[in-house]
Amino acid sequence: MSIKAIGVLTAGGDAPGMNAAVRAVVRTALALGLRAHGIRRAYEGLVHGDICDLGARDVGGIIQRGGTILRTARFKDFAKPEVQQEALRQLGRKGIDAVVAIGGDGTMRGALALHRLGFPVMGIPASIDNDVYGTDISIGVDTALNTIIEAIDKLRDTASSHQRAFIVETMGRNCGHLALMSGIISGAEMTLIPEQEVPPEEVAAAVREAYARGKTHAIVVVSEGAKYPAIALKEKLNAMKLDVDLRVTVLGHVQRGGSPSAWDRLIAARFGVGAVERLAKGESGVMVGLHARDVLTVPMEEAGSRQRQPDMEYYRMARMLAK
């Protein structure tokens, strides 16, 4: 089947760099002589025919913007066969021959459903959690990490001034990548992630040791998916009569926003170009991903069914450097 028009959508949680990826998809399509269409509100918008034409100027000036100009949504009904058939009908009415889906594992499962119905699709990983299997890093991760580090650096200033200990909770769902990396980069005394259970007693000991070494503050980074998230951990530590002024900061959705970093803009461009060029050559049902320095592909069956695990060597490093 010869592809003449490509649709692009962004689904799941927004991530800084999604707009840069949309821009790369559209301009690569146009460079190859293809038409480009934007699918608003992800799979929900697709089913309802919320589709627009996109030209080079339509994606001008968006590379530095956070969020996604196409907007995003989660749409559980897309798992239903009759809903998927309606999506195919909408694509046919608009004359779209292939779709590039930008998002996380749920986004890949939606694209895989279209692929299994014989429709050409290509995936681009975008998730601040960095839990998408088949890529070393997803779009948005680097920007989120920079946001976290900026916040922790500021918290350390006030923590030192008041001799306090701060428990900082990051996002990440059930993947500890954000917490683990930010724990290393910020010099935290302890990092708690879903993949490695740490008893509160061990956290208390680490905080006490930090003050015993003459430190004027202590930082504990906790992933939201850890056994003891920030508020629960504070309650446990207070019950131990830890003689330290404990404060909690839950960073929340501020980690999703903001202008994408240089790295996220670059990887979004590489992924966008790679996805469209592969579709034009007849590839389908795969997701582009970064492997070392190369952009390669992984089957969507794998990307949508497995979670990427953080490298536990980094966990060992975090514990060693906190001493």
Catalytic residue among 97, 105, 129, 131: 129
Structure tokens at 99: 């779709």
SS3 21: helix
Length of the chain equals 323
Neighbours of 55 (CB within 10 A): 12
Instruction: Return d(Cα 121, Cα 267) in angstroms, integer.
Output: 20
The one-letter code for the residue type at 48 is H
Neighbours of 293 (CB within 10 A): 7
Establish whether 243 is a catalytic residue.
no
Task: Give 204-218 as a DSSP string.
Answer: HHHHHHHHHTT-S-E
317, 196 contact by CB (below 8 A): no
Residues taking part in catalysis: 129
